[in-house]
Structure formats: C-alpha cells, structure tokens
Amino acid sequence: MNIFKFEKQDSDEVIKLWNDCFLKRYNIDKYLFDEKLLNDPDLFWPCVLVCKTNEGKIIGFIACKISNGSIEEYKNAAWISVLFVHPDFRRQGIASKLYFAVENELYRAGVKKIFAGGEIRNFFSGITYPFEISKAFFVSKGFEVNGCEHYDLCADVSKIDFDSLAVSYNKSIEYITRPFEEKDFGELMNFFDSEFPGRWKFEMTEFIKGGKNLNYLLIFCCKEEIKGFCKINTGKTHVGLGIHLGENWGALGPIGISKDLRGKGFGNRLLYDSLKHLKELGVKNVNIDWTVLKDFYGQFGFHPWRSYLGAYKILGEMNDF
Ligand SMILES: CC(C)(COP(=O)(O)OP(=O)(O)OC[C@H]1O[C@@H](n2cnc3c(N)ncnc32)[C@H](O)[C@@H]1OP(=O)(O)O)[C@@H](O)C(=O)NCCC(=O)NCCS
C-alpha cells in the first residue's frame, strides 16, 4: 500500500469509494465534490492524498483545507474535510498513515489547530454518524471530541401551513423581512461588526461580493436599521444537495438576530418570514445545516436527518516523521 498525491483523474474512483464508506445520507455527487473540494480556494493540495494497493486500486482518501487567515478565529487553522478507508482494508493503520502524513505537512505549513470538518465550504460540519469508530479514530490521534451532537435538519415546507402552527412570534409591524439590496451594504456591515463579526460576516460579505443572487440574503429591519439576517438558497434539480432532498430543494441559514432583540419572539418571526418566503419560491425540502437548535426549528416542523460531533486538535511541538 502506498500513499500518493490525489490527481483529478482519481475523482470518479474517490467519489465511488466515498459513497461506499459513509451512510447514504452523506453521499455526494461530482457537483458537490468539485464545488466543495476541488474548486475551494482553501483546499491545501499537498494534503489531498490517496492510498492505493500495489495494483493501483484506491482504498483510502484524505483532504485538508487551510484557512487563508481572513477570519480571526481560524488564524493558523486547518480542517480535515474528509477521511475514509475502504471497509475491507480497515484496522490496518491506513487512516493513521494518511492522517500523520497530513498532520506533518500542516505543521510545517504553520498550522496550530486542526478541526475535523466545519470549514467554510464544508460537506461535513464534524465527525459523521455512526460515531463510535470515527470518534475512536480521532481520539487516538489526540483530538478533543465534543460530547454533544449537532445536526442538519430538514422539512418539506410545501406541506406545512405555517399559519396554523402553534408557534408564537412577534408580529410587530415596525419590523419587516426583505431581500438585501446593494444600498444596505454599509448598514449590514455595521450590523455584522456589532453582532456577528467573525465567520458570518466573512461568509455574507463573500456571498454579496461573489455576484450571487442577492434576493437570497434576507434582512430583518426596523425602518432602515438592520436587526437580523437570514441566508437562504434554492436548487431545482437532483444535483448537489438535491441528490438527498429531491427537486426544488431549499436551504436556510445562517440566521441571526441582534442581541437586544433576543427573547422577544423576533427569532421565531424572522424564521417564520424566511420559511414562508422559501415556500413562496416553490421550494419543497429545506435543509438547515450545522445546528444544535433542534427544538427551535422543530417548532416549524424540522427534524434531524444527519448528525455530527465537533472535534479539534491543538498541534504542539513535534518531531519530523
Ligand atoms: C474512521 C476510519 C477512517 C478509520 O480507518 P482505519 O484505516 O480503519 O483506521 P486505523 O487502522 O488507522 O485505526 C487507528 C485507530 O483508530 C481507532 N479505531 C479504528 N477503527 C476502530 C474500530 N473499529 N473500533 C475501535 N477503534 C477503532 C483505534 O484507536 C485504532 O488504533 P489501533 O488499531 O491501534 O487500536 C474508517 O473506519 C472509515 O473510513 N470510516 C468511515 C468514514 C468515516 O467515518 N470517516 C471519519 C469522518 S470524516
């Protein structure tokens, strides 16, 4: 068995192995593989490796990304986006070999903290279910694993009458939810600087500057003052998340309300407005990723369909391998 740098012509074989190694709910297609991995500017190519048998069959894969330093909390951080080994070749030290090859390389690149999943354009926000083996693996490599699961949630909004749900929310007419417009940019930055200055500010700024459909960024306003935001998305076909959610799927999140409005029914209000908006766009299944707030979203009919455990490792002084 030997370790090689991944090459683009390995893609189909890696995707097939990926889908054989994880539960069906974590399966991917070529679109997701390209979008979330190969085309991600944070992908750290020296740490995208395959393990092959002597006959050249791929039996293991690891891919890492490195933070470009734009977000303070991820300075000197890297992520293991994915790691898997063919079921017939497990417990032979292959994942360990792949892991140590990348840890060494990341250390040389100045990385001080490694997360399991959870990068900016992630497939996986942590270690995937079932946890027993994957958790044992990461613990064996010195990772701290979170004791509490987080989830991707789903509901078919086309089948939910949001007005008949027993959910109370703040109906104040002083507040409206509407799509972001370019003129709102300065006020939106003030809002993020005061309320969510880290990752969410970065992600939403990247979204706006990336020339995407601005109607998919909803803002919650009192007159001209922005007090909340909610990012939504839609997809028409059975590609990407659509392989799991079917056609006319949607996504919601992140969503956030300013601190001074919390506890007054405005979170429910923004969620209600945003879900109704998605429903009006003709969306069916909606995904809400990476959340522990099962009950908050559960009020609106959402239930977990994938779960994860967060995990990280702080790199100390190391000898060369
Ligand atoms: C997790 C996974 C990558 C481990 O691959 P592997 O090549 O079998 O792992 P290794 O042989 O290097 O195991 C290293 C250590 O992990 C732990 N471990 C691995 N498999 C284990 C198992 N079945 N039971 C308990 N501990 C296990 C042990 O501590 C092991 O050390 P040891 O063999 O000296 O006891 C593999 O099981 C897999 O592909 N799982 C599905 C995909 C997945 O969950 N990936 C992780 C999330 S991205």
Average pLDDT of every residue of the chain: 96
Q: Which of 91, 119, 141, 306 to mutate to test the pocket of ligand 1 (most atoms within 8 A of CB)?
A: 91
Q: What is the mean pLDDT of residues 124-150?
A: 97
**Distance between CA atoms of 252 and 68, rounded to whole angstroms?**
26
In degrees rounded to 5, what are phi and psi of residue 223?
55, -125
pLDDT at residue 4 is higher than 50: yes
| 124, 208: one domain | no
Other CB atoms within a 10 A radius of the CB of residue 63 amount to 26
| Domain identity same for 206 and 123 | no
Q: Which of 40-44, 165-169, 201-205 has the lowest mean pLDDT?
A: 165-169
Write out residues with Cβ below 6 Å of ligand 1: 21-22, 82-85, 90-96, 124, 127-128, 133-134, 136-137, 140
Span from the CA of 137 to the centroid of ligand 1 (angstroms): 5
CB atoms within 10 A of CB 76: 14
Whole-number Å distance, alpha carbon 166 to ligand 1 midpoint, is 45
Whether 319 is covered by a domain: the verdict is no
Does residue 143 share a domain with residue 186?
A: no
Q: Is the pLDDT of residue 78 over 90?
A: yes
Range of the structural domain that residue 88 is part of? 2-150+309-314
Based on the structure, what is the number of domains in the chain? 2
Percent of the chain residues past pLDDT 70, beyond the cut: 98
Residue-wise pLDDT for 108-122, tens only, equals: 999 999 999 999 999
- 88 Cα: distance to centroid of ligand 1 (angstroms): 12
Tokens, residue 96: 């360990």
Question: In terms of domains, do 167 and 58 share one?
Answer: no
Best residue among 24, 49, 90, 125 to mutate for probing ligand 1's pocket (most ligand atoms within 8 Å of CB) is: 90
Q: Do 145 and 119 belong together in one domain? A: yes
Residues 170, 281: one domain? yes
Asked if pLDDT for residue 66 goes beyond 70, the answer is yes
Is the predicted pLDDT of residue 320 greater than 60, yes or no? no
CATH of the domain at 60: 3.40.630.30
* β-strands 77-85, 58-66 pairing: antiparallel
| pLDDT tens for each residue of 186-233 | 999 999 999 999 999 999 999 999 988 999 999 999 998 999 999 999
The helix or strand, by DSSP H or E, that contains position 50, with its residue range, turns out to be: strand 43-52
Co-location of 95 and 198 in the same domain: no
Claim to verify: residue 34 and residue 59 sit in the same structural domain? yes
Q: What's the CA-to-centroid distance between 186 and ligand 1, angstroms?
A: 48
Strand partners, 61: 50, 84
DSSP notation for 57-94: -EEEEEEEEE--S-SGGGTTEEEEEEEEE-GGGTTSSH
Q: Are 79 and 45 in contact (CB under 8 A)?
A: no
Name the token pair of 237: 């076909």
Cα atoms found within 13 Å of the Cα of residue 141, Cβ hemisphere only: 27
Cα of 64 to ligand 1 centre, how many Å? 18
- Answer yes or no: is 155 within a domain: no
| Ligand 1 centroid to residue 146 C-alpha, Å | 18
- How confident is the model at residue 211, as a pLDDT? 86
Q: Which of the four pLDDT bands, split at 50, 70 and 90, describes residue 321?
A: very low
Residue 318 predicted with pLDDT over 80: no
Residue with the smallest CA separation from ligand 1 atom 19 is: 137
Residues 141 and 174 in one domain: no
Shared domain check, 70 and 51: yes
Q: Are residues 212 and 251 in the same domain?
A: yes
